[in-house]
Amino acid sequence: MMKTLLTLAFGVILSVSAMSAVTIDEIVKNHLEARGGEKALKALKTMKIQATMQSMGGEMKATQFYKDGKKIRIDIEFQGMTITQAYDGATAWGLNPMGGGTAEKASPEQSQSMAQQANFAGDLVNHKELGLTLELAGTEDLDGMTAYKVKVTDKAGESWNTYIDAITWLAVRTDRTTEMMGQTFEIEVYFSNYKDIAGVQCPTQIDMKAGGQDMMAMTWDKIEPNVEIPDSVFAFPGE
Q: CATH for 23-233?
A: 2.50.20.10
Kindly indicate the confidence band of residue 20, based on its pLDDT and cuts at 50, 70 and 90: low
Query: Is the model's pLDDT at 10 over the cut of 60?
Result: no
Specify the pLDDT at position 6.
46
Specify the pLDDT at position 130.
82
Specify the pLDDT at position 8.
46
Specify the pLDDT at position 24.
97
Each residue's pLDDT tens digit, 174-183: 998 876 666 7
The Cα-based distances of 41 to 22, 77, 109, 150 in angstroms read 24, 29, 27, 21
From the list 164, 173, 167, 171, the residue with the least C-alpha distance to 139 is 164
**Which position has the higher pLDDT, 149 or 10?**
149
**Which position has the higher pLDDT, 85 or 182?**
85
Mean pLDDT taken over the chain? 88
Specify the pLDDT at position 78.
84
Specify the pLDDT at position 184.
77
State the burial class of residue 51 (Cβ atoms within 10 Å of its Cβ: 0-12, 13-18, 19+): buried
Average pLDDT over residues 170-194: 87
Average pLDDT over residues 46-57: 93
Average pLDDT over residues 196-216: 93
**Which position has the higher pLDDT, 85 or 8?**
85
Cα gap 187→176, rounded to integer Å = 5
